[in-house]
């Protein structure tokens, strides 16, 4: 699976993608990540017949109709997406744009994505959002990771990369490692059996020490209903 991320802050991803399970999946070439920065697609300004770098390479502007904040301009976003699309021609790909009003992302969505596509283009907006014409031109599916608003689409992009990558064979090592494929509980324990904290003992539930797997599974089902 290859993820193509459209973002003006690609460095935000460095630490997360280079560590732990996702970092190992990238190293083992089970997953790959490509970045496309809209700022790179802004041509230097022309002054006096010669090109001159416009410094910050602004990708945002004031919204039509007024209102607070700024809106990401369509042109640099479209060019960045076009570049990503040119890399996936002939492949099964999907374009996703993050929006608090979009379809709620769930594990079932991640499973279906792995089955249907080889490449995912993730559009990470900033400020007050992206010029709506970008979504209309590419018919990107709008996805939300929850009923809250974030400062940008980079965190949602990382959430999707993580959740979808987990569904790829070999990323987790064992199929049973997928929490959704086994009976899991919100309560998990490890050594020591008796934890003493501020003169009080906190003990592991006896059923987990019994070795009776039927009763353990029943206990876990019960915990899930709480």
Domain boundary among 155, 175, 195: 175
Return phi, psi of residue 198, to 5°.
Answer: 50, 55
pLDDT of 177 > 60? The answer is no
Q: Same domain for 27 and 128? A: yes
Q: Same domain for 160 and 208? A: no
**Which residues lie closer than 8 Å to 7 by C-beta, 6 or more apart?**
13, 35, 36, 37, 124, 152, 153, 154, 157
Q: Per-residue b/e over 68-87, b at no fewer than 16 CB within 10 Å?
A: eebbbbbebbbebbebbeee
Query: What letter would DSSP give residue 12?
Result: G
Q: Same domain for 6 and 77? A: yes
Peptide bond into 192 cis (omega under 30): yes
Domains in the chain, number = 2
162: containing domain: 2-175
pTM of the model: 0.86
Is residue 152 classed as helix, strand or coil in its secondary structure?
Answer: strand
Q: What is the pLDDT of residues 192-212, one digit of tens each?
A: 999 999 999 999 999 999 999
Q: Are 105 and 145 in contact (CB under 8 A)?
A: yes
Q: What is the pLDDT of residues 96-152, one digit of tens each?
A: 999 988 999 999 999 999 999 999 999 999 998 999 999 999 999 999 999 998 999
Beta-bridge partner residues of 97: 123, 142
């Amino acid at each position: 699976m290859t993820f193509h991320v459209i973002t003006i802050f690609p460095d935000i991803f460095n630490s997360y993608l280079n560590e732990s399970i996702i970092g190992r999946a990238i190293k083992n070439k089970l997953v790959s990540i490509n970045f496309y920065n809209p700022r790179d697609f802004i041509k230097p300004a022309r002054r006096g017949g010669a090109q001159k770098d416009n410094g910050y390479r602004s990708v945002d502007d004031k919204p039509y109709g007024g209102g607070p904040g700024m809106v990401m301009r369509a042109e640099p976003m479209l060019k960045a997406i076009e570049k990503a699309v040119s890399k996936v021609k002939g492949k099964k790909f999907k374009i996703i744009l993050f929006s608090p009003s979009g379809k709620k992302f769930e594990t079932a969505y991640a499973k279906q994505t792995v089955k249907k596509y080889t490449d995912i283009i993730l559009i990470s907006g900033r400020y007050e959002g992206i010029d709506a014409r970008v979504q209309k031109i590419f018919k990107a599916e709008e996805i939300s990771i929850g009923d809250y608003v974030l400062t940008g689409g980079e965190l949602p992009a990382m959430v999707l990369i993580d959740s979808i990558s987990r569904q790829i064979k070999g990323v987790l090592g064992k199929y049973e490692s997928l929490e959704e494929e086994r009976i899991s509980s919100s309560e998990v324990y490890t050594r020591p059996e008796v934890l003493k904290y501020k003169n009080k003992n906190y003990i592991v539930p006896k059923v987990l020490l019994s070795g009776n797997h039927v009763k353990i599974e029943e206990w876990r089902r019960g915990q899930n209903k709480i």
